[in-house]
Chains A and B, each alone.
Chain A
Amino acid sequence: KQEVTQIPAALSVPEGENLVLNCSFTDSAIYNLQWFRQDPGKGLTSLLLIQSSQREQTSGRLNASLDKSSGRSTLYIAASQPGDSATYLCAVRTNTDKLIFGTGTRLQVFP
């Protein structure tokens, strides 16, 4: 059974710091991996999608990497801003098209 874990569960950093959020999964037989952002009381916003054949994807200040063999993905946020404060979720897609979500990392960036 696929299990997805995110570390740390919560993170508080000063504005301007570069930071890394971690996601690990137990079964390397994934189709792709998607990173989401969720603001309090809101829905999920898709940030990046990495196919299983890819090693990384970039969007603005965000960079996501994928190491399928070791069951890990990282989300790198450069020059963090208070507006980046949110919960970040990773989700792996199995060959059955199910998205299995991680537990999330709650990020707070203070001025």
Chain B
Amino acid sequence: DAGVIQSPRHEVTEMGQEVTLRCKPISGHNSLFWYRQTMMRGLELLIYFNNNVPIDDSGMPEDRFSAKMPNASFSTLKIQPSEPRDSAVYFCASSWEGYNEQFFGPGTRLTVL
């Protein structure tokens, strides 16, 4: 298996621009998680899907952030408009059901200038 796939690996954008991060979970997994990692706050869960349905989005910082999972093999995290404080590494992870071992993607390093 190829593992969790994320794209792009690096994104540099200017403040105010829309940013879309993409994730393909491991085939057969039905739970998908978006995390953000910063030096100040460590790893934080943003949103969690189970069977393509958002279960918990309490970690989504603001209305500027939105996430979708149109099917079992694809999810997006969108930031519109982006701000410099959104600069971080964004990870996607998947598991079979939410309580089993989670497997992480390589992350997307986002820099907002």
- Identify the A interface with B (CB < 8 A): 31-32, 34, 36, 41-46, 49, 89, 91, 93, 96-99, 101-104
Chain A residue contacts of B43, Cβ below 8 A = 89, 91, 101
Write out, one digit per residue, whether chain B residues 35-51 have a CB within 8 A of any chain A CB (1) or not (0): 00000001111001010
Chain A residue contacts of B93, Cβ below 8 A = 44
* Closest 8 pairs (CB-CB, A-B): A97-B98, A101-B43, A44-B104, A43-B106, A43-B104, A49-B101, A43-B107, A31-B99
In the complex the two chains form, is A97's CB within 8 Å of B42's CB?
no
Alpha-carbon gap, A36 to B104, bound state (A):
10
The contact of B42 among A45, A49, A104, by CB within 8 Å, is A104
B77 to chain A minimum Cβ distance, whole angstroms, is 15
In the complex the two chains form, is A46's CB within 8 Å of B99's CB?
no
- Identify the B interface with A (CB < 8 A): 4, 31, 33, 42-45, 48, 50, 55-56, 91, 93, 98-107, 109
Alpha-carbon gap, A103 to B42, bound state (A):
6
Chain B residue contacts of A103, Cβ below 8 A = 42
In the complex the two chains form, is A42's CB within 8 Å of B106's CB?
yes
Give 16 A-B contacts (CB < 8 Å), ordered by A residue.
Answer: A32-B99, A41-B109, A42-B106, A42-B107, A44-B93, A46-B101, A46-B103, A93-B99, A96-B56, A97-B31, A97-B48, A97-B50, A99-B33, A99-B102, A101-B42, A101-B43
B100 to chain A minimum Cβ distance, whole angstroms, is 8
Alpha-carbon gap, A104 to B43, bound state (A):
10
Alpha-carbon gap, A92 to B6, bound state (A):
24
B29 to chain A minimum Cβ distance, whole angstroms, is 13
In the complex the two chains form, is B101's CB within 8 Å of A97's CB?
no
In chain A, what residue has the closest Cβ to B58?
A: A98
Contacts A34-B101, A42-B106, A45-B104 known; 4 new A-B pairs at CB < 8 A: A91-B43, A97-B55, A99-B45, A102-B42
Chain A residue contacts of B55, Cβ below 8 A = 97
In the complex the two chains form, is B48's CB within 8 Å of A43's CB?
no
